[in-house]
Amino acid sequence: METPPLRWGILGTGGIARTFTADLLTLPDHEVVAVGSRSAESAEAFASAHGIPRAHASYQALADDTGVDVVYVATPHSGHASAALTCIAAGRGVLVEKPITVDAASASEVVDAARAAGVFCMEAMWTRFNPAIARLRELIADGAIGELVSVQADFGFAAEYDPAGRLFDPALGGGALLDLGIYPISLASMLLGEPSTVLATGGTAPTGVDANTGILLGYPSGAVAVLHCSLRGGTPMRAAIVGTQGRVELPAPFFKPDALTLHRDGAEPVHERFTLPGLGYTFQAEEVARCVRAGRTESDLMPLDETLAIMRTLDRAREAVAVR
């Protein structure tokens, strides 16, 4: 018997919704069957542009669409929690764009609701499912570079200042940490777990959100993570994972790598390349399908407990730089 396609609903009609939908439409075993927006006009325009059969004029109407298996939540950060809870209450699985919410407390509310309802829930940290990152995990697990010593990563660009824009408006969950810092923090979390020490310093934008933040994470093993995120200047956007017997380097942009280089002490560097179909989002969609078809409500590659730990780390970093 053929496996029926996974039926997606798209909640939100902004740039990231368009990007993810474009990749979904390249997958033969996935269908985008509905879109929901706060206005009928926006939903209908999005549906027309992407060939989606149903357009809903509210998030609740999308959540109530029984022809949808999983809803991709693509609102600004500040809307993630309420949208996800609406979908979960209606029995829909959710893939929630990163960060899953704006703080650990609201993230716990979403996770608790999904677990109580027995529906699928995952944070859309698309980097986690990239083949170069999968290879990185294999190398670390095989002891290719020995015991981990440090993770170094950065993500920054010079953003045009707009106090009402998503990146700078506190009401929309603005700031470098939530939008960019989550990538290096998630990488460190994947490799080292939840830190015992979180130190951070930096500067803020006129709206009060963090605009340039350096983060130092400490772990019980003695390993450290040295991370940087910025809305004020372009950074190399590379990552290095250092061990007692070598290191692995991820090229720019490290959150969408198509290669890695393994440096073993006393050996020539080994370069590996990987194919990235589409815009790089197909891998996370395939992970959702794998889990849902297996009857799983969580991914073991991006588990909800780790998502909560990452949110706690973000909270601690934000507290250290005195922003809300």
User: What CATH number has the domain bearing residue 230?
Assistant: 3.30.360.10
Residue 133 forms part of a structural domain: yes
* Structural domains of the chain, count: 2
Q: Are residues 235 and 316 both part of a single domain?
A: yes
Q: Are residues 99 and 32 both part of a single domain?
A: yes
Domain-ending residue, one of 99, 124, 149: 124
Q: Are residues 39 and 84 both part of a single domain?
A: yes
Residue 145 forms part of a structural domain: yes
- Edge-first strand order for the sheet with 259-264 is 197-204, 210-218, 224-230, 148-156, 239-243, 246-250, 259-264, 270-273
Q: Which candidate, 106, 81, 90, places its Cα nearest to that of 9?
A: 90
Residue 282 forms part of a structural domain: no
φ/ψ region of 175 (left if φ > 0, alpha if ψ in -120 to 50, else beta) reads left
Q: Are residues 50 and 187 both part of a single domain?
A: no
Residue 200 forms part of a structural domain: yes
pLDDT score at 243: 98
Of all residues in the chain, the percent with pLDDT exceeding 70 is 99
User: What CATH number has the domain bearing residue 108?
Assistant: 3.40.50.720
- The per-residue pLDDT for range 9-26, each reduced to its tens digit, is 999 999 999 999 999 999
Whether 98 is a known active-site residue: answer yes
Q: Are residues 49 and 133 both part of a single domain?
A: no
Of all residues in the chain, the percent with pLDDT exceeding 90 is 98
Residue 244 forms part of a structural domain: yes
Q: Are residues 72 and 155 both part of a single domain?
A: no
Q: Which candidate, 318, 70, 52, 34, places its Cα nearest to that of 181?
A: 318
pLDDT score at 226: 98
Residue appearing with tokens 């993500």:
155
- Gap between the Cα atoms of 58 and 69, Å rounded: 17
Domain-ending residue, one of 124, 142, 170: 124
pLDDT score at 1: 59
Q: Per-residue confidence at 241, pLDDT binned at 50, 70, 90?
A: very high
Enter the tokens of residue 168. Answer: 């700078």
List 56, 80, 98, 247, catalytic entry: 98
Q: Are residues 68 and 152 both part of a single domain?
A: no
Mean pLDDT to the nearest integer, 56-75: 98
- The per-residue pLDDT for range 116-155, each reduced to its tens digit, is 999 999 999 999 999 999 999 999 999 999 999 999 999 9
Residue ranges of E strands in 205-277: 210-218, 224-230, 239-243, 246-250, 259-264, 270-273
Q: Are residues 17 and 108 both part of a single domain?
A: yes
Residue 293 forms part of a structural domain: no
Residues found in the chain: 324
pLDDT score at 3: 83
Pairing of strands 30-36, 54-56: parallel
- On the question of pLDDT at 324 being above 80, the answer is no
Q: Are residues 316 and 174 both part of a single domain?
A: yes
Q: Are residues 55 and 171 both part of a single domain?
A: no
Q: What residue numbers bound the domain in which 157 lies?
A: 128-275+309-320
pLDDT score at 322: 85
